Amino acid sequence: MKIAVAGTIDTPISASSSAGTEIWTHNFCQELIRQGHEIVLFADGSSKIDGEVVSICSHSELLDSEGKISKSKLAIFTFEQILQIAKRQQDFDLIQISIFSFAYVLPAVKLFTKPVFITVHGSGMSYIDADMFFKHYPSPHYIFSSKAFANSWPSPKNSKIVSHGIKIEDFLYSDKADDYFFWMSRISPEKRVEDAIKFAIDEGQKLVIAGPVRDQNYFDTNIKPNLNDKIQYVGELNFEQKVAYYQKAKAFVFTAKPPEAFGLVAVEALACGTPVIAYDVGAMSEIIENGLNGYIVKSGSVEDIAIAADNINKIKRNNCRDSVKDKFNMENMIKKYIDYYESELNGQ
């Protein structure tokens, strides 16, 4: 198949991506290419895959005078992205959208004569707004990454649930851990890293924090004052670095407060043999089984994180890897996508 993929334009898509949507899109494209499909990625100009990349803009072109992403520029360049795909749509069998703010592209799907599939990575839209958009734009096929996420939203006319997958073999297993807990995500208020920091301070535990700073004021206020020998911020990691931190952590701590569509970092940690302590939000209960590969704790409860941490040595690290080996495997995910594509192309 020949597939046009619309990816993020504000952040490069590559093997070094740290954000969930970008790394998922990169691995998705690479696996399709490996299986013999022809992929053209329309995205940030610095993106890198083994197929063709069409540059829409650079990160710097989207910044406002304060160095932040301009929403108006993002909307304009996203429309430019869709126009570029529309010009070439006869070259493709279908269009796959992999953009967090997918609502920006919905009005433009009427330009396409080829089937459109949208992976819903998340959105800041309310339930009411999503219901309005799904009813107003019923033609795309919306793909949700978890049952919890799909059930929390209104149901589009065409939709399917396909769990995210990773290349398990890329996440090397370790049966031994060092004496630290690991937290990694983008640094922004909704990720609640301050809860992990409070746990570490209260319990005298070592905590390693990683990820890109998306809100500098939040970082300066909630993280920077607490950094010391035991609480360390190691910046934005490349793939090899993050795997190394996963492998040796006593546990991965997932403190996102709002329900997320999936939680790819939790699966990556488990693949390395590292148990996960996660708030009971979103898809975490579909990934974590209490006592087997980690613990689900009450959202916002630092005390419950501490209780789980006290029991973390009861988790067998090989159980963590086994729990995701088949359930969240990249090849299985791609097969479900291909089956869905083919059923639409064949008119089933």
The model's pLDDT over 246-262, given as tens digits with 9 standing for 90+, comes to 999 999 999 988 777 88
Spatial neighbors of 140 by CB under 8 A, at least 6 apart, are 97, 106, 109, 116, 117, 118, 156, 158
The model's pLDDT over 154-168, given as tens digits with 9 standing for 90+, comes to 889 999 999 999 999
Higher-pLDDT residue of 5, 185: 5
CA-to-CA dists, residue 229 to 121, 233, 337, angstroms: 36, 10, 45
User: If we measure between CA atoms, which residue out of 293, 297, 257, 296 comes closest to residue 273?
Assistant: 293
Higher-pLDDT residue of 267, 239: 267
Q: Can you read off the two tokens belonging to residue 256?
A: 């996102």
**What pLDDT is stored for residue 301 in this prediction?**
94
The model's pLDDT over 17-52, given as tens digits with 9 standing for 90+, comes to 767 788 899 999 999 999 999 999 999 988 999 999
Mean residue pLDDT across the chain: 91
Residue that the structure tokens 């006290």 belong to: 310
pLDDT exceeds cutoff 70 at 348:
no
Q: What are phi and psi of 63, to 5 degrees?
A: -80, 145
Higher-pLDDT residue of 181, 122: 181
Considering the chain, what percentage of its residues have pLDDT values greater than 90? 66
**What pLDDT is stored for residue 261 in this prediction?**
80
Range in 60-74, 139-153, 276-290 the model is least confident about = 60-74
Q: Give 107's pLDDT tier (boundaries 50, 70, 90).
A: confident
Per-residue pLDDT, averaged over 232-248, amounts to: 93
| pTM of the full structure | 0.87
Per-residue pLDDT, averaged over 79-108, amounts to: 91
**What pLDDT is stored for residue 11 in this prediction?**
85
209 close to 236: Cβ distance less than 8 angstroms? no
Q: How far apart are CA 164 and CA 76, in angstroms?
A: 29
User: What domains, with CATH codes, occur in the chain?
Assistant: 2-165+329-345 (3.40.50.2000), 168-325 (3.40.50.2000)
Measured between its terminal Cα atoms, the distance across the chain in Å is 17
Spatial neighbors of 53 by CB under 8 A, at least 6 apart, are 40, 41, 42, 43, 45, 47
Q: How far apart are CA 267 and CA 243, in angstroms?
A: 12
Q: Give 243's pLDDT tier (boundaries 50, 70, 90).
A: very high
